[in-house]
Structure 1
Amino acid sequence: LHRVDVRSSRKMEIYGSPFILQSFDTNRIVVSEIPRFIIYNQPAEFTIDALKAGEGQLEVAINNGQVPNKVKSLGKCKFHFTFLPTSNNLHQLSVKFNGRDVPGFPKECHVITADDIKIHGPGLSQVLLGAQTWFTIDTSHGSSSNIDVTVFSPTGESTTPSTLLTIAGLRVDWTPTEIGTYRIHVKLDGKLIPASPFYVKCYDPKKVLVTPTTNDSAIGKPTKFRIDASMAGEGNLEISVNYSGQNIPNDVNPTGKSCYEVQFIPHKAMTHYCNILFNGELVPGSPFPVNVMENQRVTAMGKGLGSNPINIPTSFTVVTQNDDVGKLKCSIKGPNDHLISCITTKIDPNRYEVTYTPDRVGEFHIDVLHDDIPIDGSPFTSQSYDINKIKTFDFPSSTTVSTPTSFIIDATDSGAGNLEIAISRDGKNIPNYVQNEGGARFRVNFLPDKPCAHYIRIKLNGIHIH
């Protein structure tokens, strides 16, 4: 308060004097931090402290009063304001004291909706225990400094994952260390974004236990094995039984929590293979073979009837089941009817081992006769391959972080087989994407995420290519 005493030169009294004046200072209004970004349909709040600003009228308006706000007195001229953004329009906050704008106001707040933030990547779906995974946050507003990510383990332990700003957005890398459900909180300016938290299931196919049948099977005989996935986490089991690439039906019967008994009935006297996948990953021991026999029938089985590298001896077994009655003959032809020598060794009274060495890439036709009669499945066809025929082109000697990098693998002359590519750094694999460029040529793409040596490993049918 200020007192103003007004007098005339003739010492006449002035009506109303002395006058009482009240002063105020808008610079002494203290407003808490107001975020640049607010979340759609989530309360936004701030406080105003006018204790040291003098007496006066405090006015707060959002979008010229079109958006309602609630005020709560906290005592001693301090107030708590709350408003709810129900549209994605720009929100303008006005704070006035005695009709004058408080310094720094009006301020603008951007409203964030689910359409403004795109989150994608394998790290938000089912994840493999111990394997580094990732996802990308792409926001149309602000920078990565506004975003905070926290990962909560199934036991409640919180970690802050590593992040890297890339041209696709903010990349978040994390590694699950427990089986169960993870919670991933993504916040923008301290507020959970729409759809957050994200729930991610972690699994481990190594925890799936398979108990295969211990005896050979026979045509028409129900054959059973057991699967226990109770300790592997949540996931999808895929079970198939096949011979010579042909699937046969199988029945799966639950025997307990995530425990199953699988039964199939073979109709062919050949080795059957039982394949078990958990969330697309092979479980330990899969695929495992089941020898299927037929009374008084001669059968052949073994790796030598499948896919084999050249210049390395391979073999298969012939079972006669009749204690060496009859004569066994075997002949093998490679590409262009090229004859391959083979050695037949008697293992026991009704088992023989046939050994041969494929010497070139291509198909090998194997005729097995018993008493001059082709045995069941004969002639067989095996495939040979040569890892030394794998060629690479455009192989980078160096690159830069976050720069898309690629190279070419040409397996045209290597023979048929399964090609595996792994790219790692610091002992951890990073994602790579393979494009088929026609025939057996492939382009391998990856994004280096750290300035260090990256190692590229290529396998053909499980064998490393040097």
Structure 2
Amino acid sequence: MITNIDCSKAGPGKPEVEMIHKGLPVPCYVRETRGRRDVFTANYTPISAGLYKIKLLFNKAEIRHDILTEESIQNLNRQAVFNTIITTQQDHYKIKASCDWQVDYMTGGPYEVYIGDSADIRVYSMQDGTVCNFPHLIADCSNTPGGHIEAEVSHNGYKFPAKIIEDTPGVYKISFTPRGPGTYKIWITFDGQMIKGSPFMQEIAELTSPLAEGPGLKRGAVAKPATFTIDARGFPGSLTADVQGPHYQLNTTITEEADKTHSVTYIPEEVGIHRVHIKLNGKDITGSPYHPKIVDPDTVQLPSDWKKYEDDQGRIPLYVGHEKHITFDATQAGPGELTANIRGKSDKVPVTVDSSGDGKHTLIFVPKEEGK
């Protein structure tokens, strides 16, 4: 980085620049500019991102009056012209310096400047979206304070500015309104420099119908809340969600979220395949009705002749290397799949579940070692 210092009105002498970063001196070379008498060039190379303290001296005397403080790195590259008045007072000199920059002054030195590194900026939380919502990403610039962030979006050859909101100090939310389906590129710059990874890509899909998704549209358990989400943004009209069990109609609760999507909750009361109708203005949306499978694991039972598996001490006798069969009755549990884990003394034991199709499931395994 280069800074010019004009000392033509300061009288005979030579300027010096002292720079400190993280407690260590940073070499700064000052030489007279070729062809320009009493104009000096200060040249230094930032060693890493962070805060730099800069002290300016003239004839070994620190200039502490009317020293300029600027946060912008770009302004440091402008020519700085200092006017210096030297007054003799007995055995010392009084030096007063002023600068001709048309900015505010701050008394006292040394002054500080932050040198940024775009590699310190993290971008995350990118989410693909639809033409009806507002996709966004997060840019964390907290490790590079004092800089200026900008974002621009390009799509189908057109560019438009993104919206930037500072959520917390140094952390920005960047969002935009899609202008149709397709691939969008988000270009992010920090102090005029493209940050690492830019441009960032986001895919925007076109919706012809509200979108519904969530576990409550696929599965659930008796007496436990089942939930799913409906994204009807951009589709005006009345939205309804009805859940019908094998024998009963269920109550549903629809809640509008802050992002204008809707969360739906219902509590199954019986096992079996349910029907979930999601309608907009009385018509089923694409994919409706859905058919979640509801089960009740608490109804899985041991066989009525369970005692035949036990010995006199109430334990199931097993023999190393001998295959063991244990049958469970899941006829009342609903349309689910039975799985099992068996653990030996030191490790898991491989197990196979044989389903007969009538709700009966047989666990088949071979003990590998003695013990419980």
- TM normalised by structure 1 equals 0.33
Higher relative contact order (CA 8 A, sep 6+): 2
- TM normalised by structure 2 equals 0.41
Greater strand share, 1 or 2?
A: 1
